[in-house]
Structure 1
Amino acid sequence: MSTANNLDHARLLVSGSTGNAVTDLVVPALLLRAPGASWSQLVHVYVPQGPTVAFSGRDLRSPGIAAATEVAHAAGFTTVVRSPGGRMVAYDSGAVVIDHLDRTTGIRHAGSATFAANAESHVRVLRGLGDVDARVGEVDGEYCPGEYSINVGGVAKVVGSAQRVTATGSLFSTVVQVVVSDRVRAVLEDVSDALGYDLRRSSIAGLADYAPTLTADEVAEAFASDYRTRLGMTNGELPPEVVAHASTADGTSPFHVDDWTRANPTTLSA
């Protein structure tokens, strides 16, 4: 069988956090750019271990970014400028993060069709979790607003996604809010205010606000199972050399993922 055919069938599902907020965000950015991948698609589903405020490049253009960073730090959150776009999102161990890397796509695949397809798949998973009236669409006053956000009952946002596309593939990243802690609610409000963004506090919710027995681990497994079934993925691991390299990432706050990965590229072992 040719290498191309092997790549067509190498679809890996990886579960579990690396244990560090910055490393979790650096790894997919490195994998997106690294040559020598032995897989065509890799999905990393994990429950983040630390409270994180993930800014985007767009947020950096706000005159309030310095104040927003200080607010996040005062609340005990790690601040990172993530690789995908969108706007600021905050989360902790009550959330689930899904990073979907696809080496078969490129610039031509960027746009609304990818967001729509992922939103439809994610809604199906959420509706299967219990009494969750999951819908695709932006609600008034939500954080990181987007046409393909997922809300419950047309009232509160519970899922948001963002994308990064390069010449070597695409990264589609999703944050699912399951149990939203008081500190996450507060930092979303305070950081949004510092950045000059409108935010309706009642638009912030987690799935457990509607299905109280749900846990982040259960939701993570539901999504992992969906990717295994829907995309024919097999269980795998993150390349240990990439995780080790990503764990050396350090710098000024907010830490800028793309700046670091461009300055510190890696390759994948065969």
Structure 2
Amino acid sequence: MPNARNLDRLLVSGNTTDAVTDLVIPALLLRAPEAEWSELVHVYVPSGPTVAFSGRDLRSPGIAGATEVARAAGFEPVVRSPGGRMVAYDSGAVVIDHLDRTTDIRHAGSATFAANAESHVRVLRALGDIDARVGEVDGEYCPGEYSINVGGTAKVVGSAQRVTATGSLFSTVVQVVVSDRVRAVLTEVSEALGYDLRRSSIAGLADHAPGLTAGEVAAALASDYRHRLGLTDGQLPAEVVAHASSVTAGVDGVSPFHVDDWTRAHPAPHRF
């Protein structure tokens, strides 16, 4: 496989390591002062159960209780870099981290959300009898105008964005096979945070296309990004993966691990 250092527009797909590392990697890539790639898309099936909080969630008086609920359910609580609200997922989901070093604050926002949602809907409809639509449904978790739902009743895809001086990070979670534990933790963590949630709004694509797997959805989305954006297959820089993997020793087991706090205090030591 080509070396990522020789690529300008890169697609990475495959296995991941753990919940914390998965979310630290894109934050480190976004903060890199220099990089030899201009655009990088990482499509993966997460390895561990994760409750990804946002900075907005931290302002809730229920954040301590929500963290306890997540951890008691076997989910790693992490404060991710992008915005939005809390989302929970496990290996039944697909995560996409789209980093673009050519984008600045003037070119980010609703147009980015709309373009990505339209592309994702097109891919999902091609996977089977899935009535994928763009739009928020009543009582959904992490509500957003550009959520993707099925049949106007249940959310299956959500996205969030972070823009810095060095580029943008657009992250998407696609729920494919939603386990009982994911449904339960989304419900209980939302309750702890004081968020309204309609449990029937939680769904996965496999609820509407039985037999569909996260691996199949990941492959379809990777193929779309590869051809639509003209990306070349490659690998994540080994240096950033190694640096992100060193985080686990610093997780205190009480508060949710805060990705941006750690990356600011531990910038990547190499150019990648």
* Structure 2 counterparts to residues 90-101 of structure 1, below 5 A: 90-101=88-99
Q: Tell me how far apart the structure 1 counterparts of residues 211 and 34 of structure 2 sit (CA, whole Å).
A: 43
Q: Tell me how far apart the structure 2 counterparts of residues 86 and 17 of structure 1 sit (CA, whole Å).
A: 25
Identity level (%): 83
* Secondary structure of residue in 2 paired with 1:208: helix
User: Aligned-pair distance for 1:110?
Assistant: 2.3
| Structure 1 stretches of 4+ moved >6 Å | none
Partner of 2:67: 69
Partner of 1:3: none
| 1:141 aligns with one of 139, 146, 161 | 139
Q: Does 1:216 align with 2:214?
A: yes
* Secondary structure of residue in 1 paired with 2:172: strand
| Unpaired runs of at least 5, structure 2 | none
| Unpaired runs of at least 5, structure 1 | 1-5
User: Aligned-pair distance for 1:267?
Assistant: 4.6
Deviations, residues 207-226 of structure 1 (Å, cap 9, x unaligned) = 00000110000000000000
Q: Tell me how far apart the structure 1 counterparts of residues 152 and 201 of structure 2 sit (CA, whole Å).
A: 9
Q: Does 1:109 align with 2:107?
A: yes
Partner of 2:34: 36
**Cα pair 1:45 1:99 within 8 Å, conserved:** yes
* Secondary structure of residue in 1 paired with 2:157: strand
TM-score (norm 2): 0.95
Deviations, residues 162-208 of structure 1 (Å, cap 9, x unaligned) = 00000000000000000000000000000000000000000000000
Q: Tell me how far apart the structure 2 counterparts of residues 69 and 17 of structure 1 sit (CA, whole Å).
A: 26
Deviations, residues 89-125 of structure 1 (Å, cap 9, x unaligned) = 0000000000000000011122111100000000000
| 1:204 aligns with one of 202, 216, 234 | 202
Q: Supply the RMSD in Å over aligned alpha carbons.
A: 1.3
Q: Tell me how far apart the structure 1 counterparts of residues 107 and 260 of structure 2 sit (CA, whole Å).
A: 20
Q: Tell me how far apart the structure 2 counterparts of residues 184 and 262 of structure 1 sit (CA, whole Å).
A: 31
| Number of residue pairs the alignment of both structures matches | 264
Q: Tell me how far apart the structure 2 counterparts of residues 183 and 39 of structure 1 sit (CA, whole Å).
A: 38
**Cα pair 1:85 1:164 within 8 Å, conserved:** yes
* Secondary structure of residue in 2 paired with 1:90: strand
**Cα pair 1:81 1:256 within 8 Å, conserved:** yes
